[in-house]
Chain A
Amino acid sequence: MEQQQSLWEFIVQQRGKLLDQTIAHIGLTFISLFIAVLIGLPLGIFIARRKKAAAIVLNIAGILQTIPSIALLGFMIPLLGIGPLPAITALFLYALLPIIRNTYTGINEVDATVLEAASAMGFSKWQILTKVELPLAFPVILAGIRTATVINVGVATLAAYIAAGGLGEFIFGGISLNNTNMILAGAIPAALLAMLFDFLLSRVQKINLKKIRVAVVLMPFIILLLSSFYVIPSFEKNKLLAGFTPEFMGRQDGYLGLKSVYKLNIRNVVISDAVMYKAAYEKKLDIISGYSTDGRLRAFDLVILNDDKKIFPPYYAAPLIRNDVLQKYPEIENVLNLLSGKINDSIMTELNYEVDYLRRSPEAVAKDFLIKNNLYRQPRNGNKGTIHLGSKIFGEQYILINMYSMLIKGYTDLNVDTKTGLGGTKICFDAMTNNQIDMYPEYTGTGLLAILNASSATLNQLKQNEDSVYNYVADQFKKKYNLVWLKPIGFNNAYALMMRRQQSNELNVHSISELTDYINQSQN
């Protein structure tokens, strides 16, 4: 009951947004459907006349249908960028096959004697098409439109990935934030829409023969009307446009904080992390919410705007190690602290760039870095004991764990066993407390929010200050879990707003406050 009630509360609280998303969703579905009918219907009629063309057209449409929807959206981005155009194009391509195929089938299935009679009565070809073939094929064509509609309602949720709006914003935001209510607030209306349209179209399909002609006339108007629900987000040239991940949109240390603390009111779209950086590079977006050490910053020449009012909690990385291991092999502390102060944000970004973007192995990148900083030493015999290292499942952690492994082997007589690719924070942390691993690199913000679940009172008290957060986390971990935070490495992999370097210089915007000022000025 509790769960249902809170879902209901969420829906009531977000009803404005939910309504907007639902309407945008309906609009997206029907604009693409309308275009698909506009093109699919004549194409279906054409191939019903030319049997040779039929195989080719149906095969092409069939192949389009088999492309996974995420991949199709991915193809669209280099061609059409982000926003409604690629989303509608992708949806249109999905809707095409059922409409072409059913038009073709429907017209082919019209009784030959009826056609002969129509011809013998003196109907012209156009009259045969409009008065006999299309009305008689109508139920089959409508079944195609029905299939296409249901497909489109489903696929349209993915439009949120490329800043085209719709119910996907809640669904993907909810997945990122692990907020079930948010997922359901997007998923349930999407499912209801699919069922509603399916039901309504099934009613039209069973329509009395007599009313077919009325239905044939009305259908385009209804589709057009529903299409008009979608107000295409205006991409005005002179104004800045921000793209935020669904997760960022819903977080206090994200867009909500930008609004309340900075009073930042920027036009924004929701977009997937996977395409966001590229979209900024291609000037489809101006401001994005990224991670401060992401290699793509370097790849696409983006700069981070200074968080001068400190709304993003610090996520400083530091080795987290079991206290009993530290007692047993005290020499390890100094070794692990060797990296401290050696890697700042831009160095980490550079290293990530080499691994994530240039596809170099984390091991080679780690070794090069150590050699360059005169930290590398040949491994010793490693017969004293074994340290078990763990890492989460992304590039940055792989690099760090390789460095630690080389350092331990080079500076001590300990051997190293690495367990890389542990799914997430929870898995790494549980592995520590169950003595399966001895150490892994963790981030202070994660420790604070994900493991300690700090209250908002605590958060206010810490004021997002990097030192106070580190001290609080180190203190609490020692007390609660007997785990020790060693010295921070020096970089902060936190949320950040970023923009193209060139634009940042042109507009003279280097911090979020300056961004707010710039937007407020340009609006006046």
Chain B
Amino acid sequence: MIDAKNISKKFKQQTAVDAISFSVNEGENFVLLGTSGCGKTTTLKMLNRLIEPTDGEIFINQKNIRNENAETLRRSIGYALQNTGLFPHYTVAENIAVVPKLFKWSKEKIRARVEELMIKLHLSKEYYDTYPNELSGGQQQRVGLARALAADAGILLMDEPFGALDPITRTRVRNDFKNLEEFKKKTIVLVTHDVQEAFELADRICLMDKGKIVQTGKPTELLFKPANDFVKTFFDEQRLQLEYKSVTIKMLWQFLNDNGNIESSATEIAADRNVWQALECFSLNETDALIAHKNGITKKISYASLMNAFNQYKKAN
């Protein structure tokens, strides 16, 4: 779907992006992760030609974007920014309607779409005619997301979209976003420096450093099969939590013992939940065991067997 081949970007003396290649599949959530200055934002902006690559080619749906009109290209790609970039002189509704208006949708169609998105993003109807500066940071970010989604583009580029929010608001907006059908449907390229966020949202993570890609892969691959020491140390600080969060009960299934003999209280848990969530379940519900189902088989899991299975999984990988 998106194919970047050997793209580079040089600013005067400095090389921001150094001949990198990657591809993003349709419907995939692809996260560009790295510290500031690693070239991830430059890479993102080259995808909708906000920045033109010095070298290399980018193909979207097999078409070289260099040969397309930049404005037409951008209208067909959703874009959300860290500081929202909302137009201060446009109302919330007008901001959301920017791209549909460029596409010259009918008034009714625009209105319907705006209202639909406001409901989806939990924006109260009363904000329809207010201006961005009257909204809280979280609400502004929701408007920014709605604007990026408005014309229902197949691709969504997001530049640290939750980066400017406080941790609590960030989690809330991110969760609401994750639960949108658009999130599941669309091809998303997201830039972040927040490791937790990357793991939470990514199908695949592309870890960058000094303009180069260090490793691309599923979150578990980066954790358990790091390509080099840089990848390994990059996650060290939050390793345990990341591991718990990236491994699901489903993935542990073969290592889990059925502790069917436990008589005491048990709580149901979905098999696609991760270990972190399972642990939360234990502590929040003060339960002794969890009940999970997979392929018609039911397992009753104790705390000890969960930890045991997790350790075995880690060894196996």
Contacts and interface: CB of A to CB of B under 8 A. Distances in A.
A121 B89 contact: no
B89 A117 contact: no
Contacts of B86: 114, 117
A210 B91 contact: yes
Interface of A: 111, 113-114, 116-124, 132, 135-136, 209-210, 212-213
27 contacts: A113-B81, A114-B87, A116-B81, A116-B85, A117-B79, A117-B81, A117-B84, A117-B86, A118-B85, A119-B50, A119-B74, A120-B48, A120-B50, A120-B79, A120-B81, A120-B85, A121-B99, A121-B147, A122-B71, A122-B99, A123-B71, A123-B102, A124-B71, A132-B87, A136-B88, A209-B88, A212-B89
A116, A117, A121, A210 pick with most chain B CB within 10 angstroms: A121
A118 B87 contact: yes
A124 B71 CA distance: 6
B91 A121 contact: no
A79 B240 CA distance: 83
B72 interface: yes
Contacts of B266: none
B89 to A, nearest CB: 5
A122 B102 contact: yes
Given A117-B87, A119-B50, A213-B89, 9 more contacts: A113-B82, A114-B88, A116-B50, A117-B79, A119-B74, A120-B50, A120-B85, A121-B75, A212-B89
A121 B88 contact: no
Contact count band on B: 20 to 34
Interface in B62-115: 71-75, 79, 81-89, 91, 98-99, 102
Q: Interface of chain A, helix or strand or loop or mixed? A: helix
B118 to A, nearest CB: 18
Interface of B: 48, 50, 71-75, 79, 81-89, 91, 98-99, 102, 131, 147, 157
Contacts of B131: 209-210
Q: Interface of chain B, helix or strand or loop or mixed? A: loop
Nearest to A122: B75
Nearest to A118: B87
A209 B89 contact: yes
Given A116-B50, A136-B88, A209-B131, A121 B74 contact: yes
B25 to A, nearest CB: 23
A4 B73 CA distance: 72
Contacts of B48: 120
Contacts of B98: 121
A124 B102 CA distance: 10
B89 A135 contact: yes
B89 A113 contact: no
A113 to B, nearest CB: 4
Contacts of A123: 71, 102
B94 to A, nearest CB: 10
Contacts of A213: 89
B91 to A, nearest CB: 7
Nearest to A124: B71
A122 B85 contact: no
A120 B89 contact: no
A98 B22 CA distance: 51
A186 to B, nearest CB: 42
Contacts of A132: 87
B102 A121 contact: yes
Contacts of A135: 89
A114 B91 contact: no
Contacts of A122: 71-75, 99, 102
A241 to B, nearest CB: 51
B74 A120 contact: yes
A122 B81 CA distance: 14
Contacts of A119: 50, 74
A123 B101 CA distance: 11
Contacts of A118: 85, 87
A115 to B, nearest CB: 8
Contacts of B89: 135-136, 209, 212-213
